[in-house]
C-alpha cells in the first residue's frame, strides 16, 4: 500500500510540474522513483507465496453435463468463494497444484539473473537488461500463480515509476 502511494505521488508530481520544472538534476526525483521501484519489487516478490497458496485454495469446476434420457447437454461452471467445497464434477480434469516455493524462485530468478547479467555487461544494453529484470521479474511469480492482472498491474507501476525517474535525469545530460 505504501509503495503504491509513493509511485502514485511520484507520477502525480511529474505530471503536474511544467516541463522546465520537471528537470531535477539533483536526483531527488530519480531517488524517489528508484525507491518506489525497489520497494514495489520487494513487496511483489514477498507476496508471491501467498498468491500461489490462494491459487491452490480456489475451487473452479467446469464440466460438461450430458443427459441422454432427455437428450440435453450443457456446461456446468462453479466457483467456490472459500466456503465448503462441493464434490468435484465427475468429468472434471484434476487441477494442478502449484508450489509456493516455485513461484518465489521464479520471481527471484527472473529478477536477479537479468540484474546480475546487466551489471556484468557494463554497457548501455546491460543497463536496459538490469532495468527489465527490476520491472518484469518480480511479477513472474504472480503470473505463475494465475494472478495475471496483479502481475501486469505491478509491472506497469514499476515501469511508470522507472520512466519518471529516468526522464527526470535525461535533460541533465544534454
The answer to which of 20-24, 35-39, 100-104 has the lowest mean pLDDT is 20-24
Banded model confidence at residue 91, pLDDT cuts 50, 70, 90? low
Cα dihedral: 138, 54, 8, 37 (round 10): -20
pLDDT value of position 19: 46
pLDDT value of position 1: 46
Angle between helices 2-16 and 28-46 (to 10 degrees): 150
135 compared with 91, residue with greater pLDDT: 135
Minimal CA–CA distance to 164: which of 17, 3, 44, 40?
17
Mind listing the pLDDT tens digit for each residue in 60-90? 656 677 777 777 777 666 665 554 555 555 5
Q: Where are the chain's structural domains? A: 2-54+97-173
**Structure pTM?**
0.68
Q: Distance between CA atoms of 139 and 41, rounded to whole angstroms?
A: 8
Amino acid at each position: 500500500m505504501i509503495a503504491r502511494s509513493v509511485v502514485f505521488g511520484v507520477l502525480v508530481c511529474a505530471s503536474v510540474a511544467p516541463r522546465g520544472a520537471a528537470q531535477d538534476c539533483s536526483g531527488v526525483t530519480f531517488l524517489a522513483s528508484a525507491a518506489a521501484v525497489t520497494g514495489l519489487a520487494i513487496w511483489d516478490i514477498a507476496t508471491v507465496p501467498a498468491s500461489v497458496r490462494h491459487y491452490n485454495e480456489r475451487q473452479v469446476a467446469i464440466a460438461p453435463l450430458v443427459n441422454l434420457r432427455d437428450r440435453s447437454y450443457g456446461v456446468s461452471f462453479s466457483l467456490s468463494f472459500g466456503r465448503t467445497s462441493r464434490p468435484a464434477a465427475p468429468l472434471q480434469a484434476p487441477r494442478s497444484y502449484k508450489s509456493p516455493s516455485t513461484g518465489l524462485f521464479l520471481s527471484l530468478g527472473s529478477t536477479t539473473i537479468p540484474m546480475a547479467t546487466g551489471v556484468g555487461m557494463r554497457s548501455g544494453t546491460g543497463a536496459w537488461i538490469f532495468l527489465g529484470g527490476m520491472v518484469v521479474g518480480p511479477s513472474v511469480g504472480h503470473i505463475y500463480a494465475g494472478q495475471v492482472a496483479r502481475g501486469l498491474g505491478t509491472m506497469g507501476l514499476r515501469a511508470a515509476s522507472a520512466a519518471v525517474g529516468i526522464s527526470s535525469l535525461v535533460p541533465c545530460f544534454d
